Amino acid sequence: MGQPEIEVEIRWEIEPGTEMTFGEAEQVIRSVCMAIADKEELDASELSISLVDNKEIQELNKRYRGIDRITDVLSFSLLEGDEPEIWDEDSPIALGDIVISWPVMLAQAAEYGHSVTRELAFLTAHGCYHLLGYDHETQEDEKEMFSLQEEVLTMLGMTR
């Protein structure tokens, strides 16, 4: 397969702390997005990822999902619903936005006993697969989605 064309905009709305530098986090995020774009044979695409604090993710979770609690990752797919009337075929496909809670990501890495790198990679993959239309509403759907995520992480050597 050729090099996939995926543009990833990363927004830092929080200081990363000492566990990982900006550059390390961005490298993890980009490598996961590139691996998924390659694996899923995506056409030229773009997405944005925001790394936020718990207050921000709780507000977004409440506003858009009606759930007033902190969560680890939210995805806002632009592929859902009707296709826009105006679509420039030469432009990349806008997949949507992913929001990751940096403090939850750090806590989950410690709780699950694996690296911060692995947890960031997992949450990035999880968000990307949601943007592509996967969910985990049923046990069957969950098994499929988590299997795809683990394949990508294994490919990148980011296992537990």
pLDDT tens digit string along 47-60? 999 999 999 999 99
In this structure, which CATH number among 3.30.60.50, 3.40.390.30, 3.10.20.30, 3.40.50.2300 belongs to the domain 6-155? 3.40.390.30
Domain ranges of the chain: 6-155
Using alpha carbons, select from 153, 154, 96, 151 the residue that is nearest to residue 127: 96
Sheet strands (E) in the chain = 6-12, 45-52, 73-77, 93-101
Q: Which residues contact 104 (CB under 8 A, 6 or more apart)?
A: 54, 57, 70, 71, 72
pTM above 0.95, yes or no: no
What confidence tens digit (pLDDT) does each residue in 53-104 have? 999 999 999 999 999 999 999 999 988 755 554 455 677 888 999 999 999 9
Q: Write out the two tokens for 64.
A: 């858009």
